[in-house]
Chains A and B, each alone.
Chain A
Amino acid sequence: MNTISTRKHLMKLWSAHPISASPTTRKAVAAVGLTLQVALALAMGSMATASIRAASADDEAAYYPMVTIPIPQGVVLEAGGIQVMPDQRVAVSTRLGDIYLVEGAFQNPPSNVKFHHYARGLHEVLGLTTRGDGWLYATQRGELTRMKDVDGDLRADLFETVNDSWGITGDYHEYAFGSKLDPDGNIWVVLCLTGSFSSEIDYRGWCLRITPEGMAIPTCSGIRSPGGIGTNSLGDMFYTDNQGPWNGSCGLKHLKPGTFMGHPGGNKWFGLAPNLGKPSAEPVSNSRWHIEAKRIPEYLPAAVIFPYNKMGQSASGIATDGTSGKFGPFANQLFVGDQTQSTVMRVYLEKVNDRYQGACFPFREGFASGCLSVEMMPDGSMFVGGTDRGWGARGGKPFALQRLLWNGRVPFEIHEMRARSDGFELTFTQPVDAATVADVASYKLSTYTYLYRAEYGSPEVDATKPVIRLAVVGADGKSVRIVVDGLQEGHIHELHLPGVRSTQGKPLLHAVGYYTMNQIPSGTR
């Protein structure tokens, strides 16, 4: 794509924007003579037409209520890692380096919760896991550590360095996020760059996996600024990477061993990773990710992009619902936090030509602080830890620990969104009203992408408006096939479903999905 067409699209983007258009709004405003309330009403009214998320936290709470766990005075619980222990105490690690064992965390209401100060003075722990053998594994900035309470006083007294193959210079940006165990028992560590652009010390901008024996295996390059890491239901590892250089918007990326995640800042460390062979080719700035993916075989673009502002602004922790229905209708789907917007988003993944891609949906907003760690518990509840330190968050509280429950009611939602060679197939969580679902006027589809470039972030570019030709209700009465003219390879497909109703006449709780079409599937149906 050359710069001229980019500019054209930029212009389009601008002229489509409410502020540069909308003479009717202007007149209306002029006619009314504003009071503050009227101004607000208008601001909101003009937004409603472009509305993405109709559901409020209250609407969502009708299905997924939230329990806020009381935190004792004096405890600063900027929760970076959460792990339930065999004794049902929940270990919570913090950015200030404390680890607490929370007793009674599963109570509802949480009337008798106790915090035990298990460890203190560690270095910004953003990852906790256990093998169930008494050791708690914690990823600190500079090392993976395991610790144990030997004398049984609920305080760790043995701290072993499992691996410290990577370096830290002392730059605050050099975070390290640690995963749970993969199917082979490895812990994966994603290492933030030194700042946004460069890697000043070993393995910054890389993913290492640490074996049970404590050996580090260089696994992926090209990482910028992770916010969380976790596996899907098949045990494949994913992490979130944040908007910045070479990341036009935040995204969920598959850490397939040997692949390059897109930011070339850390490529200088290929010399430390003979198992990965030659460095992958440098990407071309101002290109598009699907174009570079064809040129650079190791490059694996984000499986799912979270469109900036619309879905989130700082993607963070990842949890997969492996509870087979205890958390509602979304078994095996992924849930991803957003720190700025204090939300948890939902992700459906599928494979096209052996590469993951898929869609994201709004799921739950209204968390008390900026969501950082997200942990699915075996009982079908989800723990979400938050912080707004250094990065503002909508929730407004400096830190929080909350638990999301499913109350057994099934919200009317898009369940899955799959790409087809000529459109999409969507399933729903409830039977649908055939008349509205079969009406192409019930949908609005647009596409766009982001620049893949060395500069920070990107505006939305290359916007198109494909035409929905046909919508056919599935035989199961819970799905629809949408036939589209003009699917765009490499674009986000933003599908709104304002007209779709359930058989009970209800609109969707969240009537939008964002599908990242890295590849258009071949084949017929």
Chain B
Amino acid sequence: MAATQILRNLVAGICLVSARLMADIHPPTLVLPRTVDAGEQLLSALACADCHQASPGAQVRLMPRTGPRLGADGPRLTSQFLRQWLQNPQAIKPGTSMPDSLHGLPVVERADAIEDLTHFLMAAQGANTNSAVAADPFKIAQGRKLYHEIGCVACHSPVDDRDGVSASEAARLRQMSVPLGDLSRKMSVPALAQFLRDPLKSRPNGRMPSFNLTPRDAEAIAMYLLRAQAIGLEDPSKAQKFPGVRYQYFEANLRDEADFDKVVPTISGVLDDFRLKPRSREDEVGYRFTGFIRVTEPGEYTLYTRSDDGSRLRIGSQLVVDNWGEHGTAEKSGGLVLAAGDHAFQLTWYNGGGESSLEVLWQGPGIAKQRLPKSALFQMSAPMEPLGGENFTLDATRTSRGRERFASVGCASCHEVRDSTGLVASRWTGKPLNDLKGQADQGCLATSVKAGLPKYALSPEQRLALQETLRRVEQLSQLLEPAQQIDHTLARLNCLACHSRDSMGGPEITGKSPWFAVVGDADLGDEGRIPPHLTQVGGKLNSNWLTNVLQRGVKTRPYMATKMPVFGNANVGALPALLEKVDATQPAPVDPTFSNRDVKAGWKLVGAEGLSCIACHTFGRHKSLGIPAMDLTQMHQRLRSDWFQKYLVDPAALRPGTRMPTFWPEGRAVNRDILNGETAAQIQAIWAFLSRGAKADVPAGLIRASKEIVVGKEPVIYRNFIEGAGSRAIGVGYPERTHLAFDANDLRLALIWQGSFIDMARHSTDRGVGFEPPLGDHIYKLPVGPSFAVLNLPDAPWPTESAKAMGGKFLGYTLDAKRRPVFHYRLGDVLIEDLPEPKAAEFEVSLQRTITLKGSHPGTLYFRAAVGDIKPRPGGGWLVDGEVKLSIRGGATPQLVGKELRVPILFRENQAVLIEEFVW
């Protein structure tokens, strides 16, 4: 490799060896295109032309990168940070391009200058927003995920490891990442969140792009980046009172409030009120909220909960509202006298299944019955605030002296600061850029930089690159070719950290590929996680769409975790036209007027009766039948028709490794039925259909209609994933319109219901994902866990292990003359035949189950008939949960043990018969 190439790589950031010393400036770009000169890139990145006046031509090429705006338009910084930073920028943020401009001053004067500048900048910032916020472990975890997934680590250093990345490779990647420095003293969570929401406001050069973050996501990332501030998380004594409530979210069966203490919360954190989010499912979930209710007016108060299912509110140790139990939205209340002040509370809520809600209301002196307002809710949390906090009092003299220095030292050349008197103008200038030609080893580039000049932490290689470029500085005035302009922009904005173009760049080259992830489990391979290549992108995308993407960050690949950020019109506005000029071989073709016949043929081709594009592609708001490939209704808006035509014939030629198959291999149509199998006509028809965009008619086969299995004269078996009956469920639909599901994993009758049997649409479309519940009503769920167990004592706890673990084995079923299944299974040496038979009567539906057991076993075998609220019925039998009438014949007398109904089984000559009947 030529020496110049090694140099280019070093300056560009592809460190073949770890050559960058900690004190050197971080390379301004991760991947340097071949046409971009490393020295020129540095001149641009260090904003040399901010001090050294450049010719108008060079000014355009270098696009001097100004430092961040400071003051009111900049990020809110702390005084303790500013002071330390000005003392030695490289020590705080190794790799920073901020020079030391005070290095020549005597120690005392230097300290004085730093103090003046700090006062000036603090004054320019205005009111302090560096306030403490409550540390929230959940938000920190969320921020960590976002930081590693949305694209931050394409430029910045990943913190979390990824499989297959060695420690030495990880260290290399850290070193070649854009440094963040120690942020913990620098900013507060709100200040950093504010910066992250609109980085272009304080850094208009676009090198820190905007990800269009929501306030919530920005706060989460800020909390993660400032996690060192959350020192109180492990130490309750550091807790402070903040607005909001603390929550714990549980995923478990929580019908008994004591169960809350038996399970570990899935998520804990802080919310501003009793919102039932975050929540990843609907059934068997619970929340426990704690905090303080602030009372300003003492007196008699009534508190209410309105919930579905149950809730309980305690104030202090007193149970005030008891709204427990499974029910639809129901309101309960309780009264008490409250003194002025903060009152600790605990609110528990759970949902067994179905719909859910929670509201808390109050009524008191001067307060009509209303929702408990957020303003009355407080909680104790560990505070997060910038470390090294100090009481800072502005000194007017220092402030005005600082303003002077800011102008005279040259800070104002790079940093815009606007204060009450307007923009601070720099009074510091260097020699014009063209005059540096013969002096490339002097001034800021001298080995020993003189006092008064900014001192950059350049590596020897970087200094050499700058000197080489300055030797032919007049060339910088020449206008760049469009292709070079593109390369310059891609380099300046680090586009090549995520995208490859013409064999340059992309995550595979930078080594960050393992951090590019797919959302959820979308089965899309690398296409699902690596941002698309940009080779000839100007010949692929319409320039309008490119503008859209660059200026608004439109997301067309919802499955890709990395987001396309926004770089600002000033920085990328010229790119769409340049890309079109360089990449496209002709102007974008204009569509002819499409006939209705074309559109209709296209509709047919896209749908299930044609090529079934919808098997993989999303269509507007309709999910595809398989993987979530890109939305078809956006294709026409995005793509040029000439690219589309070439792509359909040979997708892998334009996107190597794509999962998109061709339906015209070698240009010959696979489908011979539509449009006589003519390739050009078929592709034109699809394009015509797609030109309808969001107005296009939904292709056939996309909308999943219900597919109820209607039971005819014979019973119907349906083995599949049935909700409530497990992954090896055997559903049986009977002509009597009474149905059941047997769980072949746990060897138990799991569900019985009436009416309609089941909808098989879920399992017969797409990939058949998920569990399907019964379709009918009167659904009774039988006890979860083994149905039979050998117990030493009648009231011994019922075992919880699986039937399989207890020696159970499913043997199959036989269909009797009426084609009703008889289930066969084995428990140890006992063989069991289980015959359910629906009995249809005019008004009452019942199911009779005959269980025949053969064999022998040690000890007493019990059958657990029911679990729940069980009451004996007058005249015999039992009532379960107030709904199901149950009778059992054949065994010994059933025993009620707690909430369980157990039947000891009586064997005679190694045989026993139990007859169980359900009426419900």
Contacts and interface: CB of A to CB of B under 8 A. Distances in A.
Interface of A: 3-4, 6-7, 10-11, 13-15, 17-20, 26, 29-30, 33-34, 36-37, 39-40, 42-44, 46-48, 50-51, 53-54, 56, 76, 95-97, 120-124, 140-143, 145, 156-161, 164, 168-170, 172, 195-196, 243-244, 284-286, 308-309, 313, 340-342, 365-366, 388-396, 398, 453-457, 459-460
Interface stretch (B195-203, B375-383, B716-724, B865-873): B716-724
B586 A33 contact: yes
A285 B613 CA distance: 34
B525 A44 contact: no
Given A172-B768, A398-B608, A457-B657, 10 more contacts: A7-B508, A40-B680, A46-B653, A56-B668, A124-B768, A157-B819, A389-B626, A389-B765, A393-B661, A457-B526
B844 to A, nearest CB: 28
A162 B764 CA distance: 26
A30 B586 contact: yes
A18 B657 contact: no
A454 B536 contact: no
Nearest to A97: B719
Contact of B727 (A14, A19, A53, A169): A169
Contacts of B460: none
A11 to B, nearest CB: 5
Contact of A390 (B513, B611, B716, B768): B768
B657 A308 contact: yes
Contacts of A160: 811-812
B663 A53 contact: no
A5 to B, nearest CB: 12
A43 B679 CA distance: 12
Interface stretch (B211-219, B410-418, B641-649): B641-649
Contact of B612 (A13, A158, A396): A396
Contacts of A6: 508
Contacts of A313: 659, 661
B798 interface: no
A455 B514 contact: yes
Among A17, A19, A160, A285, chain B packs the most CB atoms within 10 A around the CB of A19
A20 B608 CA distance: 35
Nearest to A366: B670
Contact of A394 (B663, B680, B716, B745): B663
Q: Classify chain B's interface size.
A: 35 or more
A170 to B, nearest CB: 4
Interface string B747-775: 00000000000001001111111110000
Contact of A20 (B503, B668, B719, B812): B503
Given A388-B615, A455-B526, A457-B525, A36 B670 contact: no
A359 B653 CA distance: 24
A342 B656 CA distance: 20
A309 B658 contact: yes
A17 B625 CA distance: 32
B513 A455 contact: yes
A-B CB proximity, top 3 nearest: A285-B164, A392-B615, A121-B717
B680 A37 contact: yes
Given A160-B812, A284-B164, A40 B683 contact: yes
Among B653, B661, B766, B813, chain A packs the most CB atoms within 10 A around the CB of B661
A450 to B, nearest CB: 10
Interface in B516-550: 518, 521, 523-526, 528-529, 535-536
10 contacts: A10-B503, A40-B667, A158-B814, A160-B811, A164-B810, A366-B670, A390-B626, A392-B616, A394-B670, A454-B163
A50 B656 CA distance: 14
B720 to A, nearest CB: 6
Interface string B667-683: 11011000000011001
B461 interface: no
A284 B164 CA distance: 7
B163 A170 contact: no
A43 B763 contact: no
B624 to A, nearest CB: 9
Contacts of B524: 456
A394 B661 contact: yes
A31 to B, nearest CB: 9
Contacts of A124: 768
Contacts of B16: 4
A120 B659 CA distance: 34
B811 A161 contact: yes
Nearest to A158: B814
B684 interface: yes
B662 interface: yes
B646 A39 contact: yes
A296 to B, nearest CB: 16
B654 interface: yes
Contacts of B263: none
A509 B357 CA distance: 68
A17 B655 CA distance: 10
A122 B770 CA distance: 16
A56 B667 CA distance: 10
Given A121-B717, A142-B744, A392-B615, A40 B649 contact: yes
Given A11-B503, A309-B652, A309-B658, A392 B613 contact: yes
Contacts of A7: 508-509
Interface in B573-601: 585-586, 589
A396 B610 contact: yes
Interface string B323-335: 0000000000000
Given A454-B163, A455-B164, A47 B661 contact: no
A14 B612 contact: no
Contacts of B536: 19-20
Contacts of B611: 394, 396
A313 B524 CA distance: 12
B293 to A, nearest CB: 43
Contacts of A123: 719-720, 728
A196 B523 contact: yes
A159 to B, nearest CB: 5
A3 B653 contact: no
Contact of B719 (A50, A140, A164, A341): A140
A492 B306 CA distance: 67
Contacts of B768: 95, 124, 172, 389-390
B452 interface: no
A145 B812 contact: yes
B794 to A, nearest CB: 32
A140 B627 CA distance: 24
A63 B87 CA distance: 84
B716 A120 contact: yes
B500 interface: yes
A408 to B, nearest CB: 26
A170 B642 contact: no
A273 B518 CA distance: 34
Given A19-B536, A169-B727, A285-B164, A43 B666 contact: no
B665 interface: yes
Given A14-B535, A389-B765, A47 B671 contact: no
A114 B610 CA distance: 27
A188 B727 CA distance: 22
Contact of B679 (A18, A40, A169): A40
Interface string B187-224: 00000000000000000000000000000000000000
A390 B163 CA distance: 29
A143 B767 contact: no
Nearest to B769: A172
B796 interface: no
Contacts of A44: 649, 666-667
Given A172-B768, A396-B671, A26 B585 contact: yes
A158 B721 CA distance: 22
B511 interface: yes
B160 interface: no
A81 B322 CA distance: 58
A142 B612 contact: no
